[in-house]
Amino acid sequence: MTKATAIFISWIVAYSIVTGILVTFQRYEVAFSLPIQTLILTTILVPLMVLVVAPHSLKLASAIAGKYRKHRTDTDHQNSLH
């Protein structure tokens, strides 16, 4: 579950960054050609994903999975007492 959660977190971050950059392009009516827009987008996206998101997404996924497991274990334990 941890790898799937890390992939999902990475996808959410990438989606948010791409959407934010594209909205910014539209808001400021950037008139660059598509290859230049893609170059700008990937120049921002790739380093963020490699240097920031990837190292932290697995840690975050582990933390989320740990909380889920702890909650589930506590709930199972309480149910077994009744």
Nearest to 51 by CA among 4, 13, 2: 13
Per-residue model confidence (pLDDT) at position 44: 93
Residues of the chain with pLDDT > 90, as a percent, come to: 39
Q: What is the pLDDT of residues 11-52, one digit of tens each?
A: 998 999 999 999 999 999 988 999 999 999 999 999 998 898
The number of distinct structural domains making up the chain is: 1
What are the Cα distances from residue 63, in Å, to 9, 15, 54?
12, 22, 15
27: left (phi over 0), alpha (psi -120 to 50) or beta: alpha
In which domain, by residue range, is 72 found?
2-81
Residue 47's pLDDT is 93
Distance CA 73, CA 80 (A): 10
